[in-house]
Amino acid sequence: MSYLIPVVVLLSASICVGVTNADFAHDVAPILQAHCVQCHGGNEAQGGFSMNTRELFLESDAAVPGKPESSHFLELIGSADQEERMPPVDQPGLSPAEIKTLREWVASGMDWDDGLTFSLDSYQAPLRLFDVSLLGPDGWHPIDQLLFGNSSSDSTDTEFVHATAPKLPARVADNLFVRRVSLDLIGLLPDQDQLRAFTGDSSRDRHTNLIESLLARDLDYAEHWLTFWNDLLRNDYTGTGFITGGRKQITNWLYAALVRNEPYDEFTRQLIAPPTDASTGFIDGIKWRGEVSAGQTLPIQFSQSVSQAFLGINMKCASCHDSFIDQWKLDDAYGLAAVYANEPLDVFRCDKPTGRQATAAWLFPELGSIDAAAPRAQRLSQLANLMTSPDNARFARTISNRIWGQLFGRGLIHPLDAMHLRPENETLLELLAHRLVDHGYDLKDLIRFITTSRAYQTGSTSLQETDIGQSTETPHQIRSLTPTAKRMTAEQFVDNAWRITGTAPIKFDAPIIRSSQSESSELPEVTLQAGWIWGESAAAGQLPPGNETVTLRYSFDLAADVDAAIATVTADNAFQLFIGNRLIARSEDWTKPQAIPLTGLLKKGKNTLVIVATNYADRPNLAGVYFEARVRLSDGSETRLRSGTDWQSSSATSAIREDRLGKTPGPWKPATIVSGNSVHQARVGTLLKQQLATLDANPDKMVRAALMKNDFLMRTLGRPGREQIVSSRAAGMTTLEAIELSNGADLAYIVSAGAENLLNRTSVDRSAGEDHAIFDHAAFSNSLFRRAFGRNANSGELEILQQQLGRSPTSAQVEDVIWAVLMSPEFWIVR
């Protein structure tokens, strides 16, 4: 436990200030060291009191310089009351001489040598990336060079000199590798063809080829990693806050960014300084109506979320008071918060006002600063740029560590949000961060880089109970350099149970466009049917006046529930779209039509769309709104919604509060078809068509659990509520989970419907008549085992399954086999 013993560290030459009777470094510090800092220094701050620095000492009001009589700590150390005395009675107290020294030190002003602290000699990562040199052997993957290139150095046997060449560890068995890499990269178990192709492939590059082919599956990749990002950015489709408009999704933006593999620096800039509404949800946090504690206002939420997600900094301590566990101070938390704040931000300490106001600032002034006087949008943009600057090594290290953690089951720094700790292998983390920065912050490339290393492709070790809760600082049981077995997430379990049993739902909840850019050009062409419309001012070919805002509305009935719907909308110059009076989308750039998923927003029965559109400039000029939607109903029919003369317009507008539209007064007139808009059509027509065409994209693609609202089964299996950032999920299974898996309705449905599906697929030899039909139990069992475990059943298993299934199994018997397979540790564990 040596790391717990605080040490006095002289960070700079001691400079005594003023004339004192007691010399701090020689007389005072040793007393504090001997009696106090074990509980009130280093990482300890018992009673909320730390004496690591003079500042902390005074902040707790334990002492008043120059006033020994008002210094409470002197009272305590001199107290005759056994209950009250410090240190506690089970430890020796201070001698009268020692107390006298401390009293004199306080009386003379409590001089404290500059830079002297009782805090631990803690690890300080360099702010900027440092160079990493690889020692070979050449031709080895850089990660492998670092980990295995110098194999004899690990030996503790000094008498035996390794003369052998460094050796790479063996790869894991093919079936386990395919299973692991497929689950890690796209979240799905490999299908049988893939498995066969891989095991039959004799090429040297087959591991890399498989990785490439998985990463090329843009939607599968996005739909797997969406879970990781939703957890980290606390984005969800349901949850607290939505009901009062206090929270916004970023789903559509996030999904598209993952599909196109947006470079991580640009991705982050769009989250911190959102260029459009689509990604504001992250920094806007979750707002509850009414008063909230000073530690949870929206600016403070911003400070905490930005620090944790991008830098692995826990700013939650420092949001209330200077942190006891790391370097961050109240002013750091508030400085970051002030970047976001719309108004001057009062600094609160422990929910009490300090009387000071925060100044917008960035955490690492060595790397640049924020102009606190700049308008908010500029401050956010400056922060985004500082954060994503290649100089900011911590940004690259944090995400590299997270990705390593996802793939290896454990971060090089662990826990993943404690980036102040020393990495298990500092050079390796640096190598990853360099790779990310040097390759344009390409996350897929980083994943490719890690998974193509031999380190990743070796056999995994199993997680031990003693590993739970252990950090990189704990000296034992660290296993971040070889893959650790992982448990399937809720989403992985549900996805693969659906896949094996063929029971996935047919529609999904996430408001996304399930298509990639490259696909949209291959979709069947869609003809446009809507017109460009405006209010009365455009009647008879007139140019509408500048700075005019009109309200356009359209009510319609849908005969059935909506399976899927997509809209394309644009307006010259700007629009806001409301459905059910709730703001859905807006844009101020008519040349970029917005593709808006409407699934989940439209319902059977009456719906009302409202578009509030504004024409810019001071003089009359061309204006127009284009709206068209394709709605696929549950009865299989398709309906179009199109802007036209059956829309109504009003020149009045209504107030918008918390993204809700009030009641718009009339009079309502039929909307006018705008003439002379060929310029619009020429500029955006093709885009409008492409956006509408995406409704036809991937109609048969299996719906993924990550695209569904959190339900009881997934919640039980550990999918978080996403009110807080979550960067790793629990490893163990709980009894309540097991109860749900044993008798819950959701899994019972998957298993029973799956039994029917699987029975229908399995060949039955009926040549001897229905009464003598022979069920091919081996074919059935092997097929199920290959899908679930990536292997055939062994002889012992076949015997059990034959007994269970017999010659002509019932659905119930098949159900029980499916259930037993899905519950098997072999299914749950990603080795």
Partner 1 sequence: MSSTHTSHDCDANETSARRDFLKQLAAAGAATLGMSAPRALANDFGTIAHPTATADSCILIWLAGGMAAPETFDPKTYHPFEVGMPVDRMLSTFPSIDTAVDQIKICKGLENIASVMDRGTLIRSAVQPDLGSILHSRHQYHWHTGYVPPQTVAAPHLGAWMAKVLGPNNPVMPPFINIGQRLEGVGEKEELKAFTTAGFFGSEFGPMNLPYAEQAARAVQPPEGISSQRFADRDRLFRRLVDQSPGRDLASDFHRDSILRSMDNAYRLLSSDDRRAFDITAETPESLQKYDTGRFGRGCLLARRLVDAGARFVEVTTEYVPFLHWDTHNSGHETVARLHGEIDQPIAQLIRDLDANGRLDRTLVVIASEFSRDAMIEGRPGSSANDQATFKVDKVTEPKHYGLHRHFTGGTSVMMFGGGIKRGGLYGSTAPERPLVAIENPVSVMDLHATIMTAMGISPKTGFDIEGRPFYVTKDGQGRAVTELFG
Using CA atoms, how far apart are residues 536 and 613, in angstroms rounded to an integer?
Answer: 13
Q: Using an 8 Å Cβ cutoff, are 784 and 817 in contact?
A: yes
By three-state DSSP, how is residue 768 classified? coil
Least spacing, CB of residue 350 vs partner 1, in Å: 4
Least spacing, CB of residue 314 vs partner 1, in Å: 6
Using CA atoms, how far apart are residues 48 and 55, in angstroms rounded to an integer?
Answer: 14
By three-state DSSP, how is residue 86 classified? coil
Using CA atoms, how far apart are residues 547 and 537, in angstroms rounded to an integer?
Answer: 12
Q: Got the DSSP string for 646-693?
A: TSEEES----EETTEE-PPP---EEPEEPSS-HHHHHHHHHHHHHHHH
Q: Inter-axis angle of helices 811-823 and 490-501, to 10 degrees?
A: 150
Pick 20 or 43: Cβ nearer partner 1: 43
Pick 18 or 290: Cβ nearer partner 1: 290
Could you tell me the two tokens for 425? 């292998």
H/E segment holding residue 764: strand 764-765
Least spacing, CB of residue 12 vs partner 1, in Å: 24
**DSSP secondary structure letter of residue 715:** H
Pick 441 or 789: Cβ nearer partner 1: 789
Least spacing, CB of residue 443 vs partner 1, in Å: 20
The set of residues, in sequence order, having a beta carbon less than 8 Å from that of 506 and lying 6+ positions away, is 563, 703
Least spacing, CB of residue 153 vs partner 1, in Å: 28
By three-state DSSP, how is residue 573 classified? coil
Question: Which amino acid is present at 499?
Answer: R
Work out the widest C-alpha separation in the chain, in whole angstroms.
Answer: 109
Q: Which residues pair with 587 in a beta bridge?
A: 575
Using CA atoms, how far apart are residues 35 and 57, in angstroms rounded to an integer?
Answer: 15
Question: Which amino acid is present at 280?
Answer: T
Q: Using an 8 Å Cβ cutoff, are 56 and 42 in contact?
A: no
Least spacing, CB of residue 706 vs partner 1, in Å: 18
Using CA atoms, how far apart are residues 682 and 578, in angstroms rounded to an integer?
Answer: 27
Pick 44 or 262: Cβ nearer partner 1: 44
Least spacing, CB of residue 591 vs partner 1, in Å: 37
Least spacing, CB of residue 614 vs partner 1, in Å: 31
Which residue, among 122, 228, 248, has the nearest Cα to 184 in the 3D structure? Answer: 228
Q: How far apart, in Å, are the Cα atoms of 96 and each of 77, 81, 87, 99, 109?
A: 10, 16, 14, 5, 20
Pick 83 or 522: Cβ nearer partner 1: 83
Pick 21 or 724: Cβ nearer partner 1: 724
Least spacing, CB of residue 107 vs partner 1, in Å: 18
Pick 351 or 618: Cβ nearer partner 1: 351
Pick 239 or 593: Cβ nearer partner 1: 239
Least spacing, CB of residue 199 vs partner 1, in Å: 17
H/E segment holding residue 556: strand 548-558
Least spacing, CB of residue 827 vs partner 1, in Å: 9
Pick 85 or 439: Cβ nearer partner 1: 85
Pick 471 or 698: Cβ nearer partner 1: 471
Question: Which amino acid is present at 222?
Answer: A
Using CA atoms, how far apart are residues 152 and 148, in angstroms rounded to an integer?
Answer: 9
Could you tell me the two tokens for 365? 């002034």
Least spacing, CB of residue 186 vs partner 1, in Å: 21
Pick 539 or 800: Cβ nearer partner 1: 800
Pick 52 or 650: Cβ nearer partner 1: 52
Q: For the chain, what is the radius of gyration of the CA atoms?
A: 32
Residues 737, 192, 446, 432: what is their CA dihedral angle, to the nearest 10 degrees? 70
Could you tell me the two tokens for 604? 């059977």
Pick 266 or 711: Cβ nearer partner 1: 711
Q: Got the DSSP string for 358-407?
A: -----S-GGG----TTS-HHHHHHHHHHHHT-TT-HHHHHHHHHHHHHHH
Q: Which residues of 475-514 are buried (b: 16+ CB within 10 A; e: fewer)?
A: eeebbbbbbbbbbbbbbbbbbbbbbbbebbeeebbbbbbb
Least spacing, CB of residue 755 vs partner 1, in Å: 12
Pick 90 or 771: Cβ nearer partner 1: 90
Q: Using an 8 Å Cβ cutoff, are 574 and 614 in contact?
A: yes
Pick 213 or 474: Cβ nearer partner 1: 474
H/E segment holding residue 696: none
Using CA atoms, how far apart are residues 649 and 673, in angstroms rounded to an integer?
Answer: 11
Pick 254 or 315: Cβ nearer partner 1: 315
Least spacing, CB of residue 132 vs partner 1, in Å: 26
Least spacing, CB of residue 537 vs partner 1, in Å: 38
Could you tell me the two tokens for 75? 């009272």
Least spacing, CB of residue 672 vs partner 1, in Å: 40
Least spacing, CB of residue 463 vs partner 1, in Å: 4
In this structure, what are the phi and psi dihedrals at residue 10, rounded to the nearest 5 degrees? -90, 110
Q: Which residues pair with 550 in a beta bridge?
A: 613
Which residue, among 507, 526, 624, has the nearest Cα to 569 in the 3D structure? Answer: 624
Give the Cα-Cα-Cα angle 67, 68, 71 (nearest 5 degrees).
95
Pick 93 or 545: Cβ nearer partner 1: 93
